[in-house]
Amino acid sequence: MSDLELRGVTKAYGAAQVIKGVDLHVAQGEFCVFVGPSGCGKSTLLRMISGLEPISGGEVRIGGEVVNHLGPAERGLAMVFQSYALYPHMTVRQNLSFGLENLRAPKSEIAERVTAAAQMLQIDKFLDRRPKDLSGGQRQRVAIGRAVVREPRIFLFDEPLSNLDAELRVEMRGEISRLHRRINNTMIYVTHDQVEAMTMADKIAVLRDGRLEQFGRPLDLYNTPDNTFVAGFIGSPRMNFFKGHVRGGAVTLDAGTTVPLPAGKFQLAEGAAVTLGIRPNGMKPGNAGLPLTVASVERLGGESYLYGTAPDGTAVTVHSPGQTRIEPGTQIALALDADDAHLFSTDTTRSLLRKDA
């Protein structure tokens, strides 16, 4: 059990810089999720931590010790791969014990740890099967089991649930969370799915284009996103963004409506180009407000979503609790809740929230 620290970590393939300097500290026992769109460098960063990918610059410290020069085997980590990477020619038992054998653990200890891990993950019935005879979820458990038996300092997960169907994914999500609570180990988890990130993480690191966009607790990221990217990425459905300008303490949207802002919450400069962000549940169909042409309606029974466009062409999603009578094709007005609003500079995309507020 150790903490992990990245200091100015970079990675370049020839001239192409893939990781552009990441600083990060994951405390001991924390469950940290790396999230970002595909190609953002999150898997590369994980492989650099694991030692499978050499580090071009900066430092990786595990338990305070610089491990840049160490190979994957010496860092004391374990990894669960996206494709599980089970050894197809070995039985489950052999898969689980392979790493321990490499560590020259005594046979009795190997057996003990394998049994324990298998029981914990409920794969003890399949120990003598080969991977090809297992279902997707069972394979996933074996892959996790292979990491568990090693009792590593840090667990690394590389999009481990992306090959499972929706139902299993939810189940395994819970399983991994329980596992974390149980062994309370440092875990780094890579995913492109923000729901996974929100539900599982102690801390989320949002990555884009080789850079760390924001690092923090899930709800902090949700409530106070640092920039439009994080704001758009965290939360589902996505936050709505409206372009506009500051006009005397309020924002005049390009769509025509003016939204007053709570005083003192944002750093406002008169006339500045800003982007107003409101989550779908920050708006209500009302009598007056932002006009919206409804294109389609999703009725989920307990709640409904309206999809439409504002007069300036901005796509808008609105959450409506309960069942709605609004039909596609009608025009409605939206009341915007200014207390729920986020404001960003259009030029820098950074949040205009006052830090001291």
Give the separation between CA 246 and CA 272, rounded to whole angstroms. 6
Nearer to other proteins, 148 or 332 (CB): 148
Under the binding rule (CB under 8 A), the answer on residue 136 touching other proteins is no
228 within 8 A of 349, measured Cβ to Cβ: yes
What are the structure tokens assigned to 74, written together? 């010496």
> Binder to other proteins among 141, 150, 153, 203 (CB under 8 A)?
150
Letters for 45-64 (x = contact with other proteins by CB under 8 A, - = none) are --x--xxx------------
* Residue 232 touching other proteins (CB under 8 A): no
99 binds other proteins (CB under 8 A): yes
User: Near other proteins by CB under 8 A, which window of 98-106, 162-170, 196-204, 252-260?
Assistant: 98-106
Residues in contact with other proteins, counted by CB under 8 A, come to a total of: 25
Tell me if 98 contacts other proteins by CB under 8 A: yes
Tell me which stretch binds other proteins (CB under 8 A): 86-94, 213-221, 248-256, 284-292: 86-94
Q: What are the strands of the beta sheet with 315-321, ordered from one edge?
A: 283-286, 331-336, 290-299, 303-309, 315-321
The residue type found at 345 is: S
- Nearest-approach distance from CB 52 to other proteins, in angstroms: 5
User: Taking CB under 8 A as the rule, does residue 169 contact other proteins?
Assistant: no
* 46, 241, 253, 261, 342 from 247: Cα distances, Å: 45, 18, 10, 10, 16
State the DSSP string of 20-66: EEEEEEE-TT-EEEEE-STTSSHHHHHHHHHTSS---EEEEEETTEE
Which of 37, 66, 87, 174 is in the footprint of other proteins by CB under 8 A? 87
| H-assigned helices in the chain | 42-50, 92-102, 107-120, 136-149, 166-183, 194-200, 218-223, 228-233
Dihedral sign, Cα of residue 198, residue 309, residue 348, residue 16: positive
Distance of closest approach, residue 158 Cβ to other proteins, in angstroms: 9
Minimum Å distance from CB 58 to other proteins? 20
Residue 207 contacts other proteins per CB under 8 A: no
Cβ closest to other proteins, residue 63 vs residue 232 = 63
320 near other proteins, rule: CB under 8 A: no
Specify the 3-state DSSP secondary structure of 165. Answer: coil
Specify the DSSP class assigned to residue 264: T
Q: Residues 262, 330: contact at Cβ < 8 Å?
A: no
Q: Which stretch binds other proteins (CB under 8 A): 84-92, 178-186, 229-237, 282-290?
A: 84-92
Q: How far apart are CA 259 and CA 276, in angstroms?
A: 9
Cβ proximity to other proteins, 88 vs 301, nearer residue: 88
Residue 86 or residue 343: which is nearer to other proteins going by CB? 86
- State how far the Cα of 160 lies from the Cα of 163, in Å rounded to an integer: 7
CA distance 203 to 215: 7
- Selected from 21, 57, 72, 232, the binder of other proteins by CB under 8 A is 72
Residues in contact with other proteins, shown as a per-residue x/- string from 330 to 349 under the rule CB under 8 A = --------------------
- Tokens standing for 95? 């898969």
Nearer to other proteins, 82 or 345 (CB): 82
Residue 142 DSSP one-character state: H
From the list 28, 82, 224, 309, which residue makes contact with other proteins (rule: CB under 8 A)? 82
Cβ-based nearer residue to other proteins, 96 or 172: 96
Q: Does residue number 14 form part of the binding site for other proteins (CB under 8 A)?
A: no
Does 133 participate in binding other proteins (rule CB under 8 A)?
no
Strands 154-158 and 77-80: parallel
How is residue 100 written in tokens? Answer: 């321990």
Q: Contact region for other proteins (CB under 8 A) — 22-30, 44-52, 206-214, 314-322?
A: 44-52
* Residues at the interface with other proteins (CB under 8 A): 47, 50-52, 71-74, 77-79, 81-83, 85-89, 98-99, 102-103, 146, 150
